[in-house]
């Protein structure tokens, strides 16, 4: 019986080997039609993490190298929709509790507002700013 760990690689490890964030790798996997499987592993505190086969990883490597990992158009197609969006300031209860706000990042602001309206039906967006997802924590820390 062969060890399954020799035939699969975690998406985290695969992304690290390619020098990219795992979110970028998931986008490439989606474009290539590669599905991951989730498995629990003691090295990750028993959490279920995504794995792909070594064969699928080879396909990703070939695609990554053939597309041109240094090509700016490749970087834009793999990261633009994930990293770019807006930092927002939402007032949750404008009439009853005007000092109650929500700060955060959204790549799709109308969808994000709709999800907030499940618990705060009168929420309104006060302001949005163009932002990278990596800036969210810094922006929240500086505002609050």
Angle between helix 11-18 and helix 22-32 axes, rounded to 10 deg: 100
Position 5 scores a pLDDT of 47
Position 24 scores a pLDDT of 85
Average pLDDT over residues 66-81: 46
Q: What separation in angstroms does the CA of 134 have from each of 80, 104, 138? A: 12, 11, 8
Alpha carbons 56 and 21: distance in angstroms, whole number? 17
Measure CA of the first residue to CA of the last residue in the chain; give whole Å: 56
- Tens digit of each residue's pLDDT (9 = 90 or more) over 100-142: 999 988 888 888 888 888 889 999 999 998 887 777 788 888 8
Whether the pLDDT of residue 4 is over 60: the answer is: no
Alpha carbons 1 and 10: distance in angstroms, whole number? 21
Answer whether 78's CB lies under 8 Å from 20's CB: yes
Alpha carbons 101 and 93: distance in angstroms, whole number? 8
Position 116 scores a pLDDT of 86
Q: What angle do CA 129, 130, 132 make, to 5 degrees?
A: 125
Position 6 scores a pLDDT of 55
Spell out the domain ranges in the chain: 4-69, 85-143
Query: Residue 59: which of 29, 82, 84, 36 has the closest Cα?
Result: 29
Report which of residues 92 and 64 the model is more confident about. Answer: 92
Tell me the backbone φ, ψ of residue 9, rounded to 5 degrees. Answer: -140, 140
Is the pTM for the entire model greater than 0.75? no
């Amino acid at each position: 019986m062969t060890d399954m760990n020799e035939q699969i690689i975690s998406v985290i490890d695969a992304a690290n080997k390619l020098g990219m964030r795992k979110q970028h790798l998931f986008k490439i996997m989606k474009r290539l039609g590669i599905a991951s499987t989730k498995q629990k592993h003691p090295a990750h505190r028993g959490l279920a993490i995504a794995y792909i086969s070594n064969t699928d990883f080879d396909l990703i490597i070939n695609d990554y190298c053939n597309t041109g990992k240094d090509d700016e158009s490749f970087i834009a197609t793999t990261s633009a929709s994930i990293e770019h969006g807006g930092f927002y300031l939402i007032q949750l209860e404008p009439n009853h509790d005007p000092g109650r706000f929500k700060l955060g990042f959204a790549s799709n602001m109308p969808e994000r507002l709709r999800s907030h309206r499940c618990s705060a039906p009168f929420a309104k967006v006060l302001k949005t700013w163009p932002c990278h997802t990596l800036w969210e924590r810094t922006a929240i820390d500086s505002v609050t």
